[in-house]
Structures are given as structure tokens and as C-alpha cells.
Structure 1
Amino acid sequence: MDAILRLFPEHIKDAIKEKVKNRWYELQEIRFRLNQPIELIYDTKIEWINQIKPDSKDAIFVLNQLSEFSLYRMEDELREGYITIEGGHRVGLAGKVNTLGGIVKAIQHITFFNIRIAKQKLDVALPIIPYLYRKKYMSTLFVGPPQTGKTTLIRDIVRLIGSGWKNILPTKVAVIDERSEIGGSIKGIPQHNVGIRTDVMDACPKAEGMMMMIRSMSPDVLVVDEIGSEKDVQALMEATLAGVVVICSVHGQNLEEIKKRPSLQPLFEQAVFQRFVLLEKQEQPGFVKGIYDHNEMNILQKKRCSNDVVRSGSIHRYHNVDRI
């Protein structure tokens, strides 16, 4: 956690270390707001460091650590509203926005910081990936509300496809990592294990990146996170027409909800996906509610020999007949 703790002044660093102690593996976010207590968000609860309320000097210290004393170097990142640091951790920023012609130029007077802890969970997708493979990988859409583990699962799917699993050989994977969340790259080098046959296009818009990777890296599987725009959808459809398997995610509660979105309707009309993985918000992220085939039948229900639930990379036993 040194990459995270170095961001803070000594008195805040000591307070966080004392509060978290040996629970770093449970920590999801550190929320740092000017003149407010520091918020610590764990997998199953929220805690506060009430004795410290950061002031403007503390905020300047954090900004200097993030930018290595040169905000000019981070102009593009400031426009996007986040910075990825060593270890793949992502720092979200908010404050007063500077616009020009209705376009965000930068965030000024940054007074809100959200440090999202990047924790690669190896084999978290191992119970899921057999459902996505039938002699070859199938185009798959992960669906779930925020903080349900979509990116964590996709990151491990990328690693498993790129390195192979059980008796399945490694496959060429191209990742368009627009927000640096899958690979957590620093200067183009992924900080997470993304597999031996995986190529990453970091900080590139999804639509442009997909076409670039198809032309330059000839992938068998193309992976992007959080699609939504018409350009994203058009690029995905072009990729499938080129014979490339696509794996991606989208925010949503269920299939019925996302099918109503005008920008996503072409994906269903053209039957782009053969698998849909639905995630549900529980006490911990990574709860798989169901895996559906191209006919939108829950194929998890067909496994009669077990009554388990796939969650966070391990199998937890339940007695619901409609879950595994």
C-alpha cells in the first residue's frame, strides 16, 4: 500500500495506517474531502477518521504527490477527472470545472479525492469462464449496477484467456483500457497480470481503440469495459463482423433494462452476444445472479448437481434450486 500512503501528509498517513491496520485486503476506497472527516469504504462497511479533517494544505500535498509537482503534466488526466498511479490504483478528482465552449478543459480547485484501491483477485473468474467457452470463446456482456465487481471479473477473464486455464491454451487478447482500470497501466505497462498473450491499448477511447487493435494486433478476443455510446456499439458490431469475439460490460440492473436503451438495441437486434453474465449487489462484490445464453435462458439453472453461488472467485453453498 506504499503507492497509496505516499499520497498523504504524514499525520494523515499515520491515521489511515492506524485505522486500517491489517485490513487492507478489505479496503475499496479512501474518500478525502476538504474540511470533512476521511471516509474508508470496506467490502462490507464504512468507517470514518473523525479526528482529521483535511485542509487546503493537505489537498495541495496530495496534488503535488499525484503530479510529481507538475499539474501541467497531468492536463489530459485532469480533463478526464481521474489519475492512475503506480499499482493500478485510480484517484478520482472533483472540484470546480473550467470549461471552454461547453467542453471541459480541466478541473480547478480540486477539493475532493476518491482513491480506489486496485486489488487483483486471481481466479475470481475461474468458476465463470467455463460458461463462456464452447470449443471457442463466446461474445459476452457483463451486466450489473456500479460496484458489483464487473471490472474485477473482466480483468481476471482477460488473464485467464491470455494465459490459458486448465487444458485450454492461451489465446490472443486485445484490451482497450480507456480508463486504465483493467490493466492499471503506468507509461503503457500494465500493473496487473493480464496474461501472456494479452496486448493493452491504454487510455484510448473505446471505439477508436477497437479498430486500431483489430488492424494492428489481430486479436482473437477483444475486451472493453463499460460500453454505452453509439460509437462503442458500432465498433463492437464491426469487430464481430471481422470475426473477433468481444467481451465487455455495461451498467444496468437486468437485461430488460439495457434492451430499452436506444444505443444498445442494435447489439440485441444483431444477436452480437452469446452469453450474458448478470451481477447483483450483495454484501460483497462479485455475486453472479445468472449466466444467460443467446436465448436469454439462465444456464446456471441447468446444473442440477450443485446448489452453489458463484461469488468473489470461490463457490459458496446455498440451497436455492435456481442458483449454483
Structure 2
Amino acid sequence: MDKRNEFLGIFSEHIHTLLNKIEIPFDELQEIRMRINQPIIFILNGQENYLGKDGILTKELNQAYRIEKRELYETLEHISSYSRYAFEDEIRQGFITISGGHRVGLAGKVTVESGQIKTIHYISFLNIRFTHEVKGCADGVLPYLYEGGNVLHTMVISPPGCGKTTLLRDLIRQISTGNKIGEAKTVGVVDERSEIAGSYMGIPQNDVGIRTDVLDNCPKAEGMFMLIRSMSPKVIAVDEIGSLEDIKAIETACYSGCKIIATVHGNSLEDIKRKNIFQKLIENKMFERFIVLSAKYKVGEIEGIYNQQGVLIC
């Protein structure tokens, strides 16, 4: 099944018919947001467009098609392959990963038992986020992440939406498969939100290299310990660290001989230094390279690369 038919197949019959009239620029498509009784919003290169009543993309709100409850529920049935029970673990975390590695965010009435989220009922809001592989996007930073042929502990710092996961994915692929700078390494990925590998039914939909093992939908800290015990990775990659448990797991992984590549939300290296949770990692010089991204001129722009001492080297 080609990308277009795979994409159209998740929607209700009427929305499918409307979308079939549009030449969809998939390379530019970032999100589709669906809310009961509200317009369907397409995010293309950061710009909002409405799905029109006649099967067009429009900026005019009065021309927008508003999705009905039954259509959103029909779409949800397609997304969950008519078996929401099979996706309960993912639903509990607020998303479902679909074929192609794309992720569908869910919101509605949350049911809590004993302080833990049990499930989401009356789902009324969907956010379909499209994964995009940009192979080769890590080419410019790779020479700075090796020393003597060995991978360096690396932290990627980025505000939301600036391409940190896309960069991380290509770093994993190139480290795992091998590149001109260093020999191939076994990589373990803890993919807590299924965004790096985009696994569908346990199989990565994105190219993460031939020597990469993935723990999908697994908490980062527990996953790092599991990989060390069971898969003997040379490199461990995680996205969006931020808890004390994550920091402790990173320290353990470093002391066990694994190299770490991690991303974190932040605007600069100084921003990260000011956050209490990262101070110990910085003071102990656990990370040997820091890559700072921005979207000042374009998404994924390299703002700077810093060494272990925080000195700008590129």
C-alpha cells in the first residue's frame, strides 16, 4: 500500500472522500488536528490550513468542514484497527502509534484508579503527528561526536519543534550502520513515546540502523537498565530526559561503559546549566558534547556545538 492510500485509510468514509480530492504534500505535513464539532486543521510547514467542505485546503474559517462525533469515532476505530482493547496500554499514555510510525495523540475523559491513569473514555480530540525521516541530517555534526573512533557522550539541546528527534534518529541510524568517521556500534533505544523508531506492533517503521534494538513504549529509566542487563549496547539513545530517575539511569549507563546520546528541552547550554536536575551531570562532566538546535532561520538549524567544558567548538 502506498503512502497516500495508507494515510487515507485511517479516516471515516466522508473525510476520506474529501481528502481524496486533495494533492497532499506529505513532505510538508506535520499534524492533522481533529476535534468534535470543530474544523479539521492541517499543519503544513508550521502553517494552519482548514479542510474545506468541498475537499480543498483553505485559510477561510467559514469554508471549513466541521467533523461530527460519529466521524471522529469512525476514524478512531480505523486507527485502532477496530480493537481499542489491544491498544489500551498506549491509550493510557495518551497516544496510538499507527503503521508508518505516525503517532495519534488522544484526549477526552480520563479515568483514574488508585492514583494511576486507567484509560481515556469519550475521546473527542485527535492529533495525528506525522514522522519525517531526514536521512543525512546528522552529517554535519557527526565529525564532532567521535574521538579516536569512539562515540562521545552527547546531549542534544533544543526547544520544542526544532528537529531534535529527527536529528537523534539519524545519529542512531548512522552510528548503528556505520559511517566514514567511526565503525558501526550496537545501539539500544528507549523509545518511550514511540517517536524515534515509530514502532508499529514492535517493528520500527523508521530506519534506525541494522544494529539497533528498540524498547518501545517503555519508561526511559527502566528501559536503560533493561538494555544494559539484556542487550549489551555500546550506545544508548533516549529522547527528552527530564526526571531524577532518568539522570540516575544515565549515570549508571555511563559507569557501565555505555555511551549516551540524549535530548533535552532547552534554549541554550546556559539554560540547561540553570536547571537543578542537570547540574550534577554538568558539574561532573558526564557529557562530552552538547549540540544546541534552534529554528531561528530554519527547523533543525545548528546553533552551536560545545565541548565537555562548555566551550564553543563549532
TM norm structure 1: 0.88
Letter in 1 for 2:73: I
CA distance in 2, matches of 1:282, 1:6: 36
**Residue of 173, 185, 188 corresponding to 1:174:** 188
Equivalent position amino acid for 1:256 in 2? E
* Alpha-carbon distance change, 220 to 294 in structure 1, aligned in 2, over 3 angstroms: same
Report what 1:47 is aligned to: 49
Using the TM superposition, give the Cα deviation of residue 166 of structure 1 relative to its aligned residue in structure 2, in angstroms: 2.0
Contact 2:90/2:217 (8 A) holds in 1: no
- Is residue 2:18 matched to residue 1:15? yes
- Equivalent residue number for residue 307 of structure 1: none
Residue aligning to 1:70: 83
User: Partner residue of 2:57?
Assistant: none
Q: Which residue of 2 aligns with 1:246?
A: 260
What secondary structure, in the 3-state scheme, does the structure 1 residue paired with 2:27 have? helix
User: Matches of 2:18 and 2:313 in 1, distance apart?
Assistant: 48
**Letter in structure 1 aligned against 2:139:** L
| In structure 2, C-alpha distance between the alignment counterparts of 1:288 and 1:43, rounded to whole Å | 19
Query: Which residue in 2 is equivalent to 1:288?
Result: 302
Q: Which amino acid aligns with 2:30?
A: Q
Structure 2: 5+ residue stretches without partners: 54-64
Partner Cα separation in structure 1 for residue 241 and residue 181 of structure 2: 31
Aligned pairs for 1:1-324 within 5 A: 1=3, 2-19=5-22, 21-51=23-53, 52-135=65-148, 136-166=150-180, 168-282=182-296, 284-300=298-314
Q: Which residue identity lines up with residue 13 of structure 1 in the other structure?
A: H
Contiguous gaps of at least 5 residues in structure 1: 301-324
Give distance in 2, aligned partners of 1:206 and 1:44. Answer: 29
Deviation string, structure 1 residues 171-214 (Cα, Å, up to 9, x no partner): 11111111111111122211111111111111111111111111
Q: Distance in 2 between matches of 1:5 and 1:259?
A: 45
Query: How far does residue 104 in structure 1 lie from its aligned partner after superposition?
Result: 1.6
What is the deviation of 1:257? 2.0
Cα offset for 1:281?
Answer: 2.4
Q: Residue type matched to 2:99 in 1? A: E
How far residue 28 of structure 1 moved from its aligned partner, in angstroms, is 0.7
> What amino acid does structure 2 have at the position aligned with 1:160?
Q
What secondary structure, in the 3-state scheme, does the structure 1 residue paired with 2:275 have? coil
How many correspondences in the alignment?
Answer: 299
Q: Would you say the 8 A contact 1:43–1:284 is kept in 2?
A: no
Q: Distance in 1 between matches of 2:297 and 2:49?
A: 15
C-alpha distance in structure 1 between counterparts of 2:115 and 2:230, whole Å: 35
Code of the residue aligned with 1:278 in structure 2: it is V
- Contact residue 155 and residue 182 of structure 1 kept, 8 A: yes
One-letter amino acid matched to 2:291: V
How many Å apart are 1:3 and its aligned residue?
Answer: 3.0
Letter paired with 1:29: E
Match of 2:59 in 1: none
**Do the aligned residues in 1 keep the contact of 2:142 with 2:181 (CA within 8 Å)?**
no
Question: Which SS does the other structure have where 1:98 is aligned?
Answer: strand
Take 2:162 and 2:144, find their aligned partners in 1: how far apart are those partners?
19
* d(CA) in 1 for partners of 2:118, 2:276: 29
Shift of 1:65: 0.8
Show CA shifts across 1:14-39 (max 9, x none).
333434x1511111111111111111
Report if aligned partners of 2:285, 2:309 keep a CA contact under 8 Å in 1.
Answer: no
Q: Distance in 1 between matches of 2:308 and 2:174?
A: 23
User: Which whole-Å CA distance do the structure 1 matches of 2:78 and 2:244 have between them?
Assistant: 37
Query: Helix, strand or coil for the counterpart of 2:49?
Result: strand
1:273 alignment partner, SS class: coil
Whole-angstrom distance in 2 between the partners of 1:201 and 1:183: 10
Correspondence for 1:321: none
**TM-score, length of structure 2 as denominator length:** 0.91
Inter-partner Cα distance in structure 1 for 2:6 and 2:278:
38
* 1: CA distance, partners of 2:157 / 2:21: 37
Note the aligned Cα RMSD (angstroms): 1.5
- Separation in structure 2 between the aligned mates of residue 261 and residue 105 of structure 1, nearest angstrom: 32
Would the alpha carbon gap of residues 54 and 284 (structure 1) be closer, same or farther in structure 2, given more than 3 Å must change? farther
SS in 2 for 1:222: strand
CA distance in 2, matches of 1:260, 1:108: 39
For residues 111 and 286 of structure 1, the distance between their equivalents in structure 2, rounded to whole angstroms, comes to 32
Aligned to 2:58: none
